[in-house]
Amino acid sequence: MKEQLYTIPLNDAVNAGDECPFCFIERNVEQDLLDFVLGSGSSYMEADIREMTDKAGFCRQHFQKMFDYGNTLGNAWILKTHYQKIISEMKNEFSHFRPGKSSFKDKFRKAAEGGNAIGMWVKEKENSCYICSHFADTYTRYMDTFFYLWKQDEEFRKKIENGKGFCLHHFGDLCEASDSRLSNSEKDSFYHTMFPLMENNMARLAEDVAWMVEKFDYRNKDADWKNSRDAIQRGMQKLKGGYPADGPYKPK
């Protein structure tokens, strides 16, 4: 059963008490991928690995995380051959490019901006990322496992019901994934649990952030922080997901 491979790490993520178990998983998988790409195993020295990173490239977000990870030589190796690949692709794009004759009407039409071959090539490069694509594969497996356990495992279901819910970003993914993984009656009970869970936990975050504002009032300077000490970090994560719990990824 392929789901069983992910059962333990998914349960660990749910038990971790994070604002979102999928953020927790994402951080662990990203850490592993950054360790693989830039860590002490020095896979950036291996031509076959670099052939894959040259081909896929990295998105803006992951370049930032690679820079913050802080292996200058590793990043230099990766960029060195990636540049060679990009420059040769770019020259090829340039040599085939013919500026489209834009009609008078096109100049007034925003849609016409989508048809430029160079623009499309650059967008394709921006959407291609070695780390994102590896994460996407793993993430799909975790989604499968989530619904497998949701249906089979009463204890797992209880933990979700009594947990902190999900970040809005991953909750959207979860709802989309449920369409193909649950029957109509299963969907009813899924949303019956999820909607109040999300409402209650978003309200909890709103309260934590509001109390932080109050704490800045001099009359509250000796008052207890309650749960507001890290309310900004958790509050941002709850809305967008993925925020590193302890700052940038560093070599393990």
The verdict on 65 binding Zn ion (CB under 5 A) reads no
Chosen residue from 167, 197, 198, 231 binding Zn ion by CB under 5 A: 167
> Measured from the CB of residue 173, what is the shortest distance to Zn ion in angstroms?
9
x-marked contacts with Zn ion along 93-132 as a string, rule CB under 5 A? ------------------------------------x-xx
Q: Give whichever of 78 and 131 is closer to Zn ion, judged by the CB atom.
A: 131
Nearest CB to Zn ion, comparing residues 49 and 112: 49
| Short-list 1, 4, 47, 244, CA closest to 142 | 4
CB of 228 to Zn ion, least distance (A): 21
Q: Is 13 in the site for Zn ion (CB under 5 A)?
A: no
Does residue 20 bind Zn ion (CB under 5 A)?
Answer: yes
Total residues at the site for Zn ion (CB under 5 A)? 11
- Window contacting Zn ion (CB under 5 A); options: 2-10, 108-116, 146-154, 166-174: 166-174
The distance from CA 76 to its chain's CA centroid, rounded to whole angstroms, is 25
- DSSP code string of the chain: -TTHHHHHHHHHHHHTT-S-HHHHHHHHHHHHHHHHHHSTT-GGG-HHHHHHHHHH---HHHHHHHHHHT-HHHHHHHHHHHHHHHHHHHHHHHHH-------TTGGG-GGGGGG-HHHHHHHHHHH--HHHHHHHHHHHHHHHHHHHHHHH-HHHHHHHHTS----HHHHHHHHHHHHHHS-HHHHHHHHHHHHHHHHHHHHHHHHHHHHHHHHTSGGGTTS--TT-TTHHHHHHHHHH----TTSS----
> Hunting for tokens 């952030």 — which residue is that?
209
22 binding Zn ion? (CB under 5 A): yes
29 or 212, CB closer to Zn ion?
29
Q: What is d(CA 231, CA 243) in angstroms, rounded to the nearest whole number?
A: 13
Choices 13-21, 150-158, 188-196, 204-212; region in contact with Zn ion by CB under 5 A: 13-21
Contact letters (x/-) for Zn ion, 230-249, by CB under 5 A? -----------x--------
**Structure tokens given for 252:** 């393990």
Q: Is 197 in the site for Zn ion (CB under 5 A)?
A: no
- Is residue 25 part of the contact set for Zn ion (CB under 5 A)? no
Judged by CB under 5 A, the residue of 27, 170, 181, 238 near Zn ion is: 170
Site membership for Zn ion, residue 29 (CB under 5 A)? no
Give residues in contact with Zn ion (CB under 5 A): 20, 22-23, 59, 62, 129, 131-132, 167, 170, 241
